[in-house]
């Protein structure tokens, strides 16, 4: 019989950065013993064992490797990981909403999702007026305009990666209000960026009246947001409705100055994105790998790959029609 440990060593040598051959059934059977660390007999010790599973993104296959902490009162908490292909804006937001409802109802565990946008889209915060947007210009440039269920400022989603986290509102990571939960959840992203060699700074808590100025998310860094080299790196927004926390955010590889034109704002000096902050810049797959590993390690999450359930897909399609692709929702402010 083939030694399972030999398969594991081969898994440890690959990642999303390199294509790999198909994974055999026998090799898959070797994964569970390494995926879930045993409970630590010494309550003061943190175990760090690899969480491994097959993953594909953008035509690349490989193994995502995350070293996760086993907390003192038991093993890691099961989370679902969704890596979705590029999609239209309304479907992206509707999918986040559908997954959040599924987590709220107990039909799905806490979920971490990554996705991209095609075609490019301008998303407004829930309370921003649609009148800010030059809709004729957006139409000419083929840019969708949508309204998020979360607050915050406008983001042009093009050359970037978006994440979403869905948790029951009673989850320990959601305790203490929005700013406290931002701090906890962002620990995972800080660790992920550090693994890529990027030093990240956290914002300082300040009164709501001193919130970011102007209509554009990345023009200013707010409380508990993440920045690098003095520039906002991760723009996040959160909402809590009907017993569920939904937080999503954007990591731009490059800032398109067209966003200022769309919002009828003068163009300032170019904003650096991840490609200017890291050289060489990671691929989308490598960024997903690093951030997912950081979340697993920092938050004690046993990430399990998954897909939208049939019920979530049906609910997403309904939400596209009645909300996120609906002019009445987009123009509600």
**Would you write out the chain's pLDDT as a tens digit for each of its 333 residues?**
333 222 222 222 223 333 333 334 443 344 333 333 333 333 332 333 334 444 444 443 444 444 333 332 246 899 999 999 999 999 999 999 999 999 999 999 999 999 999 999 999 999 999 999 999 999 999 999 999 999 989 999 999 999 999 999 999 999 988 889 999 999 999 999 999 999 998 765 444 433 445 887 877 777 668 888 888 889 899 999 889 999 999 999 999 999 999 999 999 888 899 999 998 999 999 999 999 999 999 999 999 999 999 999 999 999 999 999 999 999 987
Phi, psi of 211 (to 5 degrees): -65, 170
Cα three-residue angle 275-281-286, rounded to 5 degrees = 130
Please state whether the peptide bond connecting residue 101 to the residue before it is cis, i.e. omega within 30 degrees of 0.
Answer: no
The pLDDT value given to residue 74: 43
**pTM to 2 decimal places:** 0.78
- Please indicate, yes or no, whether residues 86 and 29 belong to a single structural domain of this protein: no
Give the catalytic positions in this structure.
217
- Please indicate, yes or no, whether residues 71 and 96 belong to a single structural domain of this protein: no
Asked if 210 and 124 touch (Cβ cutoff 8 Å), the reply is: no
- Please indicate, yes or no, whether residues 60 and 171 belong to a single structural domain of this protein: no
The pLDDT value given to residue 220: 75
- Please indicate, yes or no, whether residues 284 and 298 belong to a single structural domain of this protein: yes
Looking up tokens 């491994």 gives 52
What is the residue range of 1's domain? 1-37+44-75
- Please indicate, yes or no, whether residues 192 and 278 belong to a single structural domain of this protein: yes
Q: Which of 56, 75, 94 is the last residue of a domain?
A: 75
The pLDDT value given to residue 62: 44
CA 303 – CA 312 distance, rounded (Å): 19
CA 222 – CA 233 distance, rounded (Å): 11
Asked if 264 and 134 touch (Cβ cutoff 8 Å), the reply is: yes
92 burial level (CB within 10 Å; 0-12, 13-18, 19+)? buried
- Please indicate, yes or no, whether residues 190 and 306 belong to a single structural domain of this protein: yes
The pLDDT value given to residue 131: 95
What interhelical angle do 284-299 and 178-195 show, nearest 10?
120
Q: Which of 75, 92, 126 is the last residue of a domain?
A: 75
- Please indicate, yes or no, whether residues 71 and 124 belong to a single structural domain of this protein: no
> What Å distances lie between residue 333 and 5, 9, 135, CA to CA?
58, 55, 14
Q: Structural domain tally of the chain?
A: 2
Nearest C-alpha neighbor of 153 from the set 129, 183, 178 = 129
CATH of the domain at 235: 3.30.930.10
The pLDDT value given to residue 217: 85
Asked if 224 and 190 touch (Cβ cutoff 8 Å), the reply is: no
CA 108 – CA 309 distance, rounded (Å): 9
Q: Which of 55, 75, 95 is the last residue of a domain?
A: 75
- Please indicate, yes or no, whether residues 66 and 121 belong to a single structural domain of this protein: no
- Please indicate, yes or no, whether residues 172 and 238 belong to a single structural domain of this protein: yes
Close Cβ partners of 210 (under 8 Å, ≥ 6 residues apart): none
- Please indicate, yes or no, whether residues 178 and 290 belong to a single structural domain of this protein: yes
- Please indicate, yes or no, whether residues 222 and 303 belong to a single structural domain of this protein: yes
The pLDDT value given to residue 155: 93
The pLDDT value given to residue 235: 87
The pLDDT value given to residue 225: 82
- Please indicate, yes or no, whether residues 93 and 219 belong to a single structural domain of this protein: yes
């Amino acid at each position: 019989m083939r030694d399972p440990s030999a398969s594991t060593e081969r898994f440890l040598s690959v990642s999303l950065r390199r294509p790999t051959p198909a994974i055999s059934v026998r090799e898959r059977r070797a994964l569970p013993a390494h995926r879930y660390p045993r409970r630590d007999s010494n309550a003061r010790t943190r175990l760090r064992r690899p969480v491994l599973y097959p993953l594909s993104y953008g035509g690349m296959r490989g193994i995502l490797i995350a070293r996760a902490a086993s907390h003192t009162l038991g093993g890691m908490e099961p989370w679902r990981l969704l890596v979705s292909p590029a999609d239209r804006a309304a479907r992206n937001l509707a999918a986040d909403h559908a997954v959040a409802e599924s987590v709220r109802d107990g039909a799905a565990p806490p979920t971490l999702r990554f996705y991209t946008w095609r075609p490019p889209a301008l998303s407004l915060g829930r309370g921003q007026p649609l009148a800010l947007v030059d809709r004729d210009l957006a139409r000419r440039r083929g840019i969708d305009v949508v309204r998020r269920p979360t607050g915050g400022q406008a983001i042009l989603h093009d050359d970037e990666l978006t994440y979403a986290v869905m948790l029951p509102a009673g989850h320990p990571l959601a305790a203490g209000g929005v700013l406290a939960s931002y701090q906890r959840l962002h620990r995972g992203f800080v660790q992920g960026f550090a693994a890529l060699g990027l030093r990240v700074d956290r914002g300082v808590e300040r009164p709501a009246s001193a919130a970011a100025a102007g209509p554009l998310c990345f023009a200013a860094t707010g409380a508990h947001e993440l920045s690098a080299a003095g520039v906002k790196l991760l723009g996040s927004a959160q909402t809590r409705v009907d017993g569920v926390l939904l937080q999503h955010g954007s990591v731009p590889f490059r800032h398109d100055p067209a966003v200022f034109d769309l919002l009828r704002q003068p163009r300032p000096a170019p904003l650096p994105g991840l490609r200017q902050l890291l050289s060489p810049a990671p691929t989308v797959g490598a960024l997903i790998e690093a951030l997912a590993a950081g979340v697993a390690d920092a938050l004690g999450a046993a990430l399990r790959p998954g897909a939208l359930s049939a019920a979530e897909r049906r609910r997403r399609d309904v939400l596209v029609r009645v909300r996120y692709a609906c002019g009445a929702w987009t123009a509600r402010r």
